[in-house]
Structure 1
Amino acid sequence: MDDSDAKATEEAIEACISDGCNIIFTTSWGYMETTAEMAEKYPDIYFSHGTGYMSNGKNFNNYFGRIYQVRYLSGIVAGMNTKSDKVGYVAAQDSSNSEVTGGIDAFAIGVAAVNPEAKIYVAVTNSWDDPDKEKAASEQLLDMGCDVMAQHCDTPYPQTLAQERGVYGIGYNSDMSKETPDACLTSVIWNWSAYYTSAVKSIINGTWDGSNYYGGMAEGLVQLTNLASFAAEGTQEKVDEATAEILNGSNNVFDGVMETNTGETVGTENGTLDDAMITGGIDWYYKNVVIVD
């Protein structure tokens, strides 16, 4: 984030404080460091930052969730519905960003669970918000023959262009069947109200302790929207089966020894990656991921 973005974030926070707000949620990775600084400046204001990793254990915490659980489920959907065994994925950041990379890997593990022959072709834009690059990346993947398009980027181009080409898409952040009803198989979405409600209640009733929050499917924080009627036969059954395994704890997505796309291995037999590693330590791609130039 450049200085102008930091200044804009600071000004927005100051405006909230001037309006009398004593609980401030900052909702993007790029706001993190400025939020940390403002929390030190205003120790009597509660600050809660979405994504990222910084907190002070007092008036500034971090909240995020196990979105990888639903990414995994959406990978199952992709694996069940690709005919070319080429799945496209437009990613905002490269492997140095664990949030994006972990999402790709969870998705890829889901694909492999039902379709070990399929590959996930990832085009990286290196920007959180660059419509031109996101459009170009989508077109590149579609030109390669990808017939299911997934994404971790801000514009709907992976979905709208998939519909234009007559192939499938898997949305992110909102139910994208509204924009692309003929293409959207399902969408990976957040229900942030699950956290906001609990956070505000904890401040009101005096139980706020500054600890970080990390919820998942069990808490209703992350969800998969209803499958399209045109999804391949058997898709719903596979999703239901995997959902039950996640909720009963028998499937944590990043389980056991996993092979990367460079032939190395991560993880341990009978073990699973912990939330801290998934959130901040994943810098590798699963074995079926191909990074396109």
Structure 2
Amino acid sequence: MKKFLALVMALAMTLSLAACGGSDAPASSGSGESVVAADLKVGAIYINSKNDTAGYTFAHHSGIVGGMEDLGLDPATQLFIVDEVPEDEQQVLAAVDTLVAQDVDIIFGISFGYIDAMEKAAAAYPEVIFSHGTGYKSNETNFNNYFGRAYQARYLAGIAAGLKSLEIGNNNVGYVAAYTTAYAETASGINGFALGVQAANPNAKVYVKNLGAWADEVNEKAYAEELINTFGCGVISQHCDSAQPQIAAQNAGVFGCGYNSDMTADAPQAHLTAAIWNWNVYYATAMQAAIDCEGDASQFVTKMGGPAYYGGLKEGFVDASPLTANCAANTDKAIEAAKKLMVDGEWDVFSGVKLTVAADGTITQADADLVDNAGNVIVAAGGPSVEDGVITGTMNYLVAGVEEV
């Protein structure tokens, strides 16, 4: 989710602690005692409300709860949350202090802008495990980071958007982006989606509006409306935290692809599919590692197999949400075929091999240059996919067929 830029907050937000239990929660091993599943206390710091019904925080919260349930843990007594914490170092550190005072064993911080505070907290509290979502910092003991191949899921959503654009006879596709080339996460997301669109509709053009913020519900909707009304877009996708772009699409009688979580309930007449995260895959893995540490937080990075977790379609960490009846014919066949290539390791998005989706949903492959929108060849025809370090760290271009407006 995210190479997050710290949000500029006009007013300091009040930390809201939600202990999903009470004073009778099981004893913790935060002091270094041996921990078993029934004793594990999980802390989480959220950028938005724990009560969100769609979007980024909702997806993480659902993943943490789901991961706990997968392990037989009880969120009602073992999960402690501080939500609505902005990307301000002092407020994040205060949230950490609140959770440490609750004797939690592991703290998940879900927003990129928490990165420096999480690093400092891991050093200050070596007996506690710290796990930072979408970041890149870590240490060798009690602090790791985690993210995934969202671009793969976006490619699948792009196929759905491209096929729908063909069906409705509109080659203009819109994309409301938190940022564009300022972060590799956002650039790779835009590019993955656009390449999926182009696989289905080679004449499609993707118009991108840059929010300059990860969450801005007012402009998320306004920018989607601009893409529809000014640029004539018939399908709207997004990299932002709320379902407002999908709601705008429905209000305008066009279609959309959401992000983070399935947004069909928010826009049932418009939504095609969403690039989604199955965060429970990671959270269950991390919580099991915390249990396996047996109270020694310094073993966490070793138990996790390294300082960074990076899963994709193969691991079930990302996916396309269930397709709706709004999708064009054979969208399911095309998405399953493309997904299989990625899961089997036979192909990936940013390579010198282009997929083409036929009307019957079948897919063909052909060597072709991967080119940016300035005409530069990124990967020569037949070449291997760009390295993970580019996708997660240095991708600062948009592919051909994408225009920032």
- Structure 2 length-normalised TM: 0.70
| Alpha-carbon offset, residue 230 of structure 1 | 2.7
Taking the TM superposition and a 5 Å limit, the aligned residue runs for 1:83-232 are: 83-143=169-229, 144-206=231-293, 208=300, 209=302, 210-232=306-328
Q: Does 1:6 align with 2:89?
A: yes
Say which of 4, 8, 22 aligns to 2:105. 22
- Conserved? CA contact 2:92–2:114, under 8 Å: yes
Q: Distance in 1 between matches of 2:160 and 2:371?
A: 22
**In structure 2, C-alpha distance between the alignment counterparts of 1:21 and 1:47, rounded to whole Å:** 10
Q: Cα deviations across residues 24-46 of structure 1 (Å, max 9, x unaligned)?
A: 01001111111111111112211
Q: Does 1:291 align with 2:404?
A: yes
Q: State which drifts further: 98-107 or 263-272.
A: 263-272
Shift of 1:147: 0.6
2:395 maps to what in 1?
282
Separation in 2, partners of 1:84, 1:166:
13
Q: Letter of the 1:53 partner, please give it.
A: Y
Is the partner of 1:138 in helix, strand or coil? Answer: helix
- Structure 1 SS opposite 2:399: coil
* Distance in 2, Cα, partners of 1:198 & 1:101: 28
Q: 1:170 & 1:160 partners in 2: Cα distance?
A: 11
Aligned mates of 1:124, 1:62 — CA distance in 2:
26
Residue 255 (1) aligns with residue 351 (2) = yes
Letter paired with 1:27: I
Give distance in 1, aligned partners of 2:327 and 2:221: 25
Q: How many residues align?
A: 292
Map 1:230-241 to 2 at 5 A. Answer: 230-241=326-337
Higher alpha-carbon Rg:
2
Please list the CA deviations of residues 200-231 of structure 1 after superposition, one character each: whole Å capped at 9, or x if unmatched. Answer: 11222236315211111111111211111131
- Which range moved further: 114-123 or 264-273? 264-273
Q: TM-score, normalised by structure 1?
A: 0.96
Whether 1:39 and 2:122 are equivalent positions in the alignment is yes
CA contact (8 A) 2:221 2:247 kept: no
Q: Which amino acid aligns with 1:126?
A: G
1:57 equivalent among 137, 140, 153: 140
| Counterpart secondary structure, 2:190 | helix
SS of 2:238's equivalent in the other structure is strand
Q: Which amino acid aligns with 1:253?
A: V
Shift of residue 94, structure 1, vs aligned partner = 2.6
Q: Secondary structure at the match of 1:169?
A: strand
CA deviations over 1:36-85 (Å, ceiling 9, x no partner): 11111112211000002111232111100111110010011111001211
Match of 2:156?
A: 73
CA contact (8 A) 2:264 2:273 kept: yes
Q: 197-206 or 275-284, which moves further after superposition?
A: 197-206
- Equivalent-residue separation in structure 1 for 2:328 and 2:180 (angstroms): 31
Counterpart of 1:128 in structure 2: which amino acid?
A: W
CA shift at 1:243, angstroms? 0.9
CA distance in 2, matches of 1:94, 1:121: 11
**Which contiguous aligned blocks of 4+ residues in structure 1 show a shift greater than 4 angstroms?**
none
Letter paired with 1:212: A
Corresponding position of 2:376:
264
The two structures, once aligned, show a CA RMSD in angstroms of 1.4
Q: Percent of aligned positions with the same letter in both sequences?
A: 41
Once residues 91 and 22 of structure 1 are traced to their aligned partners in structure 2, the CA distance between those partners, rounded to angstroms, is: 35
Query: What 5-or-longer segments of structure 2 have no aligned partner?
Result: 1-5, 13-87, 294-298, 353-368
Structure 1 unmatched runs, 5+: none
Residues 314 and 344 in structure 2, CA contact (< 8 A), matched pair in contact too:
no
1:163-182 CA-to-partner distances (Å, cap 9, x unmatched) read: 01111011111111111111
